[in-house]
């Protein structure tokens, strides 16, 4: 008997495996055919079963699509539709207000950028006038309050003011911080720092005015504190005048003393205008006044160092005018009496 070789055995094994694989392929083919036939029966309206990925996607979309108008007003579909409309409306509103805010900011920046450096200097120069007027008012407040001061009485009460100035007189002293435009100096580090320093000082000045106003109208605050507040109010006027004058000199002229003559002239014009607008001396204050003006104030030791006597004379006239009455006969500075 002939023994089969190793090569023949291997070939036979391969043929057997191929036969098995062929059988599996035939079975799989029959199964697929059966599945296709079942799908065609269930989807008779479809003429062709998709044979590729794109067709399969279309088939899925067809099988899952719902129309809430046709599917008996499907609640879920209706809710989804309503939420979609609301979302669209909210998005439109959001876009509108975002666009409006953007153009508003752009317009503001555009208007601000139109401000020239000379216009900024003019605004700062007007602050010199403003602080001189504040100085007159601060001295006048002391004159009016001291006139109604209560001396120490037998019942042991300490001296104090018997009233307080109407809040409007304090609030009018505040500075408009919008007059300081830092954006003009973004590219100039030194100038920007000087402007920012001034801005902070002006902001603090406004805050101090709020505190002083609260102190003066409170009966529980003692005389010494109120007196210190009035001194501070006067001090800040010539101190900030000094800072503004030096700032203009540094930024616009390269020397902090360069703007001193113009600052002096600005105050002289304000004094002249005030006397011209209030020439009727019957409206001026008729009582005796004593002005507490320190010799080291910026007005006396710098701006009017050569004309101190003339400056003090005109300052006193301004205080008499401010402590007097207006054309209707009412006090220019109204003092509200504390209840007894």
What's the CA gap between 267 and 263, in Å, rounded? Answer: 7
Q: What is the pLDDT, as a whole number, of residue 27?
A: 75
Give the list of residues 6+ apart from residue 29 with CB closer than 8 angstroms, or none: none
Are 226 and 84 found together in one domain? Answer: no
Domain boundary among 56, 84, 114: 114
Domain assignment of residue 212, yes or no: yes
247 and 228 part of one domain? yes
248 shares its domain with 203: yes
CA distance 284 to 278: 8
- Classify residue 66: in a domain, yes or no: no
- Are residues 88 and 229 located together in one domain of the fold? no
Give residue 104's pLDDT.
56
| pTM, entire model | 0.67
Residues in contact with 229: Cβ distance below 8 Å, sequence separation at least 6, in sequence order: 211, 212, 215, 216
Q: Which two tokens stand for residue 116?
A: 């020239």
E-assigned strand segments in the chain = 149-150, 160-161, 163-165, 335-337
Q: Domain for residue 68, yes or no?
A: no
Are 124 and 247 a contacting pair, CB within 8 Å?
yes
Out of 88, 114, 140, pick the residue that ends a domain.
114
For residue 59, is it within any domain? no
Q: What does the alpha-carbon distance between residue 189 and residue 123 come to, in Å, rounded to a whole number?
A: 21
Q: What is the pLDDT of residue 294?
A: 87
Cβ neighbors of 185 (< 8 A, separation 6 or more) are 191, 192, 195, 251
Domain boundary among 114, 141, 174: 114
Q: Are residues 89 and 121 in the same domain?
A: no
> 93 and 124 in one domain?
no
**Closest of 181, 318, 328, 117 to residue 237, by C-alpha:** 318
Q: Is residue 58 part of a domain?
A: no
Query: Is 3 within the bounds of a domain?
Result: no
For the stretch 121-145, what's the b/e string if a residue is b when 16 or more beta carbons lie within 10 angstroms of its beta carbon?
Answer: beebbebbbbbbbbbbbbbbbbbbb
Q: Does residue 230 sit in the same domain as residue 92? A: no
Q: Residue 17 domain-assigned?
A: no
Half-sphere exposure of 36 (CA within 13 A, CB side): 11
262 and 147, same structural domain? yes
How many domains, in total, are found in the chain? Answer: 2
What one-character DSSP code corresponds to residue 254?
S
The angle formed by the CA atoms of residues 332, 334 and 339, to the nearest 5 degrees, is 170
Pair (87, 133) in one structural domain:
no
Residues 212 and 287 in one domain: yes
Task: Determine, yes or no, domain membership for 304.
Answer: yes
List the chain pLDDT tens, one digit each, 340 residues.
454 556 567 777 777 777 767 777 677 677 767 776 776 676 665 555 455 555 555 555 555 555 544 444 455 555 666 766 776 676 666 666 666 655 555 454 545 558 999 999 999 999 999 999 999 999 999 999 998 777 655 455 578 899 999 999 999 999 999 999 999 999 999 999 999 999 999 999 999 999 999 999 999 999 999 999 999 999 999 999 999 999 999 999 999 999 999 999 999 999 999 999 999 999 999 888 888 788 889 999 999 999 999 999 999 999 999 999 998 999 999 999 998 7
Mapped onto helix, strand or coil, the DSSP state of residue 337 is: strand
Residues 129 and 107 in one domain: no
What domain range includes position 267?
Answer: 116-337
Measured between alpha carbons, how far is 117 from 129 in angstroms, rounded to an integer? 19
Q: Are residues 99 and 173 in the same domain?
A: no
Q: What is the predicted pLDDT for the residue at 144?
A: 94
Q: Which residues pair with 109 in a beta bridge?
A: none
The answer to whether 232 and 138 are in contact (CB under 8 A) is no
């Amino acid at each position: 008997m002939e023994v089969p070789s190793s090569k023949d055995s291997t070939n036979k094994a391969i043929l057997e495996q191929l036969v098995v694989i062929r059988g599996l392929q035939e079975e799989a083919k029959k199964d697929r055919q059966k599945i296709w036939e079942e799908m065609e029966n269930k989807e008779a309206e479809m003429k062709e079963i998709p044979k590729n990925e794109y067709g399969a996607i279309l088939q899925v979309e067809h099988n899952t699509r719902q129309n809430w108008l046709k599917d008996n007003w499907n609640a879920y579909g209706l809710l989804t539709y309503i939420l979609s409309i609301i979302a669209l409306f909210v998005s439109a509103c959001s876009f509108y207000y975002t666009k409006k805010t953007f153009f508003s900011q752009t317009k503001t920046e555009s208007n601000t950028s139109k401000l020239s450096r000379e216009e900024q200097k003019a605004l700062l120069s007007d602050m010199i006038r403003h602080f001189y007027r504040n100085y007159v008012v601060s001295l006048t407040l002391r004159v009016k309050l001291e006139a109604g001061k209560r001396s120490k009485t037998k019942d042991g009460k300490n001296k104090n003011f018997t009233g307080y100035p109407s809040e409007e007189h304090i609030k009018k002293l505040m500075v408009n911080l919008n007059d300081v435009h830092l954006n003009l100096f973004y590219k100039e580090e030194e100038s920007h720092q000087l402007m920012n320093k001034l801005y902070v000082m002006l902001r603090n000045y406004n805050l101090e005015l709020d505190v002083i106003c609260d102190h003066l109208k409170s009966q529980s605050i003692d005389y010494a504190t109120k007196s210190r507040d009035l001194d501070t109010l006067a001090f800040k006027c010539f101190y900030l005048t000094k800072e503004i004058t030096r700032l203009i000199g540094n930024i616009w002229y390269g020397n902090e003393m360069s703007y001193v003559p113009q600052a002096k002239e600005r105050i002289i014009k304000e004094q002249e205008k005030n006397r011209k607008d209030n020439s009727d001396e019957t409206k001026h204050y008729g009582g005796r006044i004593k002005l507490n003006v320190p010799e080291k104030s910026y007005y006396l030791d710098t701006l009017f160092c050569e004309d101190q006597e003339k400056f003090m004379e005109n300052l006193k006239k301004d205080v008499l005018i401010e402590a007097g009455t207006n054309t209707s006969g009412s006090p220019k500075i109204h003092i509200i009496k504390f209840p007894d």
